[in-house]
A and B are shown apart, each in its own frame.
Chain A
Amino acid sequence: MANEKVDVVIVGAGASGSVYASVLAKAGKKVVVLDNGPDWQLTDLISSEFWGRRLKPAGAPIVLEGKHPFGYTSQAGWGVGGAALHYFANFPRFLPTDYKIKSEHNRAHDWPISYDDVAPFYDKVAAEIGVSGDAKQEEKWRPAGKPYPMPPMKTFPNGQVWLEGAKANGIQLVPAAVGMTSQDWKGRPACIYDGWCHQGCPTGALANPVVTYLQDARKAKAEVRPFSTVTRVLTNQAGTRVTGVEYYDDRRQKQVQEASVVILAAWSAQNPRLLLNSATDKHPKGLANKNELVGKFMMTHHIAGTWALFDQDITPHMGTIGAQFMSYDRYAKTSYPNAFGSTFIVAGAAMKTTDYANARGDLFGPELTSFMKRAARGLTRITCFGEGLPRLENRVELASDKDEFGMPLAKLVHSFDDDAVALWNANFEQGIKVAKATGAKEIWPGKGPVMPTTHLHGGAIMGTSAANSVTNSYGQTHEIPNLWMAGPCIFPSEGASNPTYTIFAVSQRGAENLAANWKTIASKS
């Protein structure tokens, strides 16, 4: 079934898709957003560890391979709002070094833009959706940019106990920059520090798309169609333009949505899958894939969490799920001998009872019961996010198994290199040193046989030409001018900072460029 042609069809209603929807709808474009999951409302965001799992992936599974498979199921999203409906809302910026890793270290790729190109959009996003933090305290690391529009969040003992231990090890912890309200702001109430962020924040204190960009987009007449699973991007006969998408609606009926511009914002693992599955005789390797770079250079952060257990009540349940404090003091990519890559440090996340149990996965029976009681009073954690470099062999490709619509599943192959493993180990050593200096009664590394992963990037990276990338710095594909990519898939390197703030900023930059050059980009359709 064909639908009336629109200006823009956006695939995915998460962080990046919602920004594009907002900017373009407010620019007067007729926008349709397709998402494969439910249209979550704030009233669906129930404060429960059980019920929060409804926001997690439920569509076609991803086949995971490689030495260090990417553990996507706890962090990806399903439905309108995407992963940003349950994200931690840590909002650190990438630093200038992240954009110039090739120039400075002869490793990985430079971004085709610099920090200065993105900085105004960090500021714009902060003003748009609200960020709380203390720019003054970040001065030693943070380059140019406006102060945050809100003061930092409250802190609690479960975060404060890390300050002296970190300082003793040359690490300055400062109030974390977060996409949350430390005070009533733009009609959204101040956060009340109950720690239910990861189950979805129904108060609006956390800047998820439903209360920010998507709300703005809907006000500007953008249409969101839930339970709409896109399977192919369609092209004209010559293969020079995309003409829309094919998708299955909530009744499992095949539909076609024609559009002047197609934006794929379905996350790093799904965007390449769609491009590869849209192969035609003119694009036999898949769209925008003449040089076989689609699905390549997948990257993920690794996590080194160190636990500390105190005798006194440090209110482990209070605060937000993200962090109370952060530090860039190990962000220099050569911070540790024999390792390479940035490390971003956070401390003092609010925890729920499953977090207590997971802190000692080896315990069971009466020992677990005893530990749970102590953890409920005195457990806390410091976490180091470490950078993984883009590797050609880390990739998304089409699997032989298919989903219910006959579309091949995505297969994600991922292995860390020796530098990343060394950095992960160094971060544990660092975490233990800090924890020892806190005076905690017990400390231990959260280290198991599996190297934990978080934040998937790459798959359609940006660059200077089709020879080295899939898109330009705005997300426009080199090969098809009205086909755009959005989200972390276009990151050519990943730094170590939580990525969503940069996703918002880069999407804002891309969307404004698309709107400003609309006639050139869309008029040939």
Chain B
Amino acid sequence: MADIERRAFVKGATLGALAFTVGGSTVMLTARQARAGNVPFRMLKENEAETIESIGETLVPGARSAGIAHFIDQQISVPPEQALLQARILNVKPPFANFYRAAVRAIDGSSDKTFARKFSMLSPGDKRDFINLMRQNKAEGWQGPAGPFVYGVLRSDAVDVVYSTMDGYEALGVPYMAHIAPERRW
């Protein structure tokens, strides 16, 4: 059998279609589409989402528009056994929402202590400096899950939404070569 026949080459943005709630109805969207459509968050508060988007974008450029906050928000709204987050394989204890909320509190609390403002309000240079301190467990006044671990989890999420999608592979010039393309139900 020719390779081309067995591989299910699928183009487009069907990868990562998640169940979002829009106007009381469930619709399947990518995280990028959900952000572009300003879909309301299920679990995250606006300030939490803002911090996640800001740090996600600093960690992996493109994460904001790729919908990192909508991705995390949707994922922490489903039972942990259905979650596709890297938190699952990084040994984060469910419910995963607790981890993300604690992480945001730690980031903004430490940022406020160091720079007298929330992380999202920092200058680009200060954001980088803060992340460097966080990943080395040196962030001032840090209270919550260990800084290096928070760095690792959020960086993984940002990598996911930017690079683990078909679009992400295409942007890097890496053939996706799916056997079964990811457009299925949970």
Contact = CB atoms under 8 A, between A and B. Distances in A.
Interface of A: 43-51, 53-54, 56-59, 61, 64, 71-74, 78, 189, 192, 194-196, 201-203, 317, 352-354, 356-357, 361-362, 364-366, 368-369, 372-373, 376-377, 449
Given A64-B91, A73-B90, A364-B60, A354 B84 contact: no
Contacts of A74: 89
Contacts of A43: 180
Contacts of B168: 353
Nearest to A79: B81
Interface stretch (B36-44, B99-107, B111-119, B170-178): B170-178
Please classify how large the interface on chain B is, using the bins under 10, 10 to 19, 20 to 34, 35 or more: 35 or more
Given A194-B7, A317-B174, A353-B168, A50 B182 contact: yes
Contacts of A372: 163, 172
Contacts of A364: 58-60, 131, 135, 155
Interface in B147-186: 148, 152, 155-156, 159-160, 163-164, 168-169, 172-182, 184
Interface of B: 1, 3, 6-8, 15-16, 58-61, 80-86, 88-91, 93-94, 128, 131, 135, 148, 152, 155-156, 159-160, 163-164, 168-169, 172-182, 184
B174 A353 contact: yes
Nearest to B58: A365
B164 A365 contact: no
B180 A354 contact: no
A310 B2 CA distance: 31
Contact of A361 (B84, B88, B152, B182): B152
Given A201-B179, A317-B175, A364-B155, A56 B88 contact: yes
Contacts of A50: 16, 84, 160, 164, 182
Contacts of A46: 178, 180-182, 184
A72 B90 CA distance: 9
A54 B58 contact: no
A196 B16 CA distance: 16
Given A354-B160, A376-B172, 6 more contacts: A51-B184, A56-B88, A61-B91, A64-B91, A195-B177, A449-B148
A25 B88 CA distance: 35
A79 to B, nearest CB: 10
Contacts of B174: 317, 353, 376
Contacts of B172: 353, 356, 372-373, 376
A114 to B, nearest CB: 37
A51 B88 CA distance: 12
A101 B67 CA distance: 53
A56 B89 contact: yes
B127 to A, nearest CB: 9
Given A192-B6, A362-B135, A364-B155, A58 B88 contact: yes
Contacts of B163: 353-354, 356-357, 372
26 contacts: A46-B178, A46-B181, A47-B178, A50-B16, A50-B164, A51-B84, A53-B89, A56-B89, A61-B93, A71-B91, A74-B89, A78-B81, A192-B3, A196-B177, A196-B179, A202-B179, A317-B177, A353-B163, A356-B163, A357-B159, A365-B59, A365-B128, A366-B61, A372-B163, A373-B172, A449-B148
- Find the residue from A50, A53, A54, A192 having the highest chain B CB count within 10 A: A50
Nearest to B168: A353
Given A46-B181, A47-B180, A47-B182, A192 B7 contact: yes
B164 A49 contact: yes
A58 B181 contact: no
A57 B156 CA distance: 18
A449 to B, nearest CB: 8
B80 A58 contact: yes
B81 A202 contact: no
A203 B61 CA distance: 35
Contacts of B6: 189, 192, 203
Nearest to A448: B148
B177 A47 contact: yes
A339 to B, nearest CB: 28
A352 B61 CA distance: 19
Given A56-B89, A362-B135, A368 B164 contact: no
B7 A353 contact: no
Contacts of B169: 353
B159 A196 contact: no
10 shortest A-B CB distances, which residue pairs?
A58-B81, A48-B182, A47-B178, A353-B163, A376-B172, A194-B177, A50-B84, A74-B89, A357-B159, A49-B164
A514 to B, nearest CB: 33
B156 A354 contact: yes
A353 B164 contact: yes
A177 B67 CA distance: 42
B180 to A, nearest CB: 5
B79 to A, nearest CB: 9
A57 B91 CA distance: 10
Given A194-B7, A353-B172, A53 B86 contact: yes
Contacts of B58: 364-365
A85 to B, nearest CB: 14
A58 B94 CA distance: 10
Contacts of B7: 192, 194
A450 to B, nearest CB: 10
A53 B156 contact: no
Contacts of A51: 84, 182, 184
A352 B174 CA distance: 9
Contacts of A377: 173
A46 B183 CA distance: 9
A322 B178 CA distance: 18
Contacts of B88: 53, 56-58, 73
B89 A73 contact: yes
Nearest to A313: B173
Contacts of B93: 61
A196 B7 CA distance: 11
A356 B159 CA distance: 10
Contacts of A194: 7, 177-179
Contacts of A352: 164
